Amino acid sequence: MVSKRRLGASMIFLGLTFVGVFHAFAAIAFHTGLLSVAVGTVVGSVLCLVAVNVPAYLD
C-alpha cells in the first residue's frame, strides 16, 4: 500500500522530471547552453523518484 506522503513525493518528482525534459528540449531548440542544467534536473529527480519508491517494494 502506498502512503499519502510517498504518493505526494512521487507526484512532485514526476512533475519535476517533466519540467526538466521540457527544458532540455527548449535548450536544444533555442541553443541556450543550459542543457546540462536540464539533464541534471532530470537525472536528479528520477533518482529521487526511485529512492522514494524502492522502500515500497521492499515492504
pLDDT tens-digit profile of 1-59?
Answer: 778 999 999 999 999 999 999 999 999 999 999 999 999 999 999 999 999 999 888 87
For cell 502506498, name the residue: 2
What pLDDT is recorded for position 13?
A: 96
Structural element, H or E, at residue 18: helix 4-30
- pTM higher than 0.85, yes or no? yes
What pLDDT is recorded for position 2?
A: 79
What pLDDT is recorded for position 32?
A: 93
Q: Mapping DSSP to helix (H, G, I), strand (E, B) and coil, where does residue 2 land?
A: coil
Do 59 and 40 meet the contact criterion of CB atoms below 8 Å apart? no
Cell numbers given for 13:
518528482
